[in-house]
Amino acid sequence: MPRRASLWHHGPVPVTFLAHQAPVLPLKRRWPGLDGVALVAGSMVPDLAVTTLRTTPRYLFGWPMWWEGHTVGDLLRWCLPVGLLLTVLLRRLVLPTLAPYLPDCGTFHLQDLRHVGRARYRWWVIAGSVLIGSISHIVIDGFTHPNGWAVGVIPGLGRGVASVLQVVASVALSAFAVWQLWLIGRDRSICVWNDVEPTPSVRPAGELSVRVVAVLLTLAAAAWAATQTERGRTIVVMTWFVLSVAAAAVLALAVRLVARSQRRVVAPVG
Q: Measured between alpha carbons, how far is 223 from 229 in angstroms, rounded to an integer?
A: 11
For Zn ion, give the closer residue by CB, 35 or 47.
Answer: 47
User: From the CB of 144, what's the least distance to Zn ion, in Å?
Assistant: 9
Residue 136: Cβ within 10 Å count: 20
User: From the CB of 191, what's the least distance to Zn ion, in Å?
Assistant: 32
Q: Cα-flanking dihedrals φ and ψ of residue 202, to 5°?
A: -110, 155
For Zn ion, give the closer residue by CB, 46 or 100.
Answer: 46
User: From the CB of 141, what's the least distance to Zn ion, in Å?
Assistant: 4
Residue 147: Cβ within 10 Å count: 13
CA-to-CA separations, 266 to 143, 203, 210, 259, in angstroms, rounded: 58, 19, 21, 10
Q: Measured between alpha carbons, how far is 141 from 135 in angstroms, rounded to an integer?
A: 10
For Zn ion, give the closer residue by CB, 139 or 196.
Answer: 139
For Zn ion, give the closer residue by CB, 12 or 32.
Answer: 12
Is 68 exposed, middle or buried (CB count within 10 Å of its CB: 0-12, 13-18, 19+)? middle
For Zn ion, give the closer residue by CB, 16 or 87.
Answer: 16
Angle between helices 80-88 and 36-48 (to 10 degrees): 130
Q: Measured between alpha carbons, how far is 68 from 82 in angstroms, rounded to an integer?
A: 13
User: From the CB of 140, what's the least distance to Zn ion, in Å?
Assistant: 8
What's the first-to-final CA gap in the chain, in angstroms?
74
For Zn ion, give the closer residue by CB, 74 or 141.
Answer: 141
User: From the CB of 72, what's the least distance to Zn ion, in Å?
Assistant: 14
Residues that bind Zn ion in the complex, under the rule CB under 5 A: 46-47, 141
160's CB contacts (< 8 A; 6+ apart) are: none
User: From the CB of 136, what's the least distance to Zn ion, in Å?
Assistant: 11
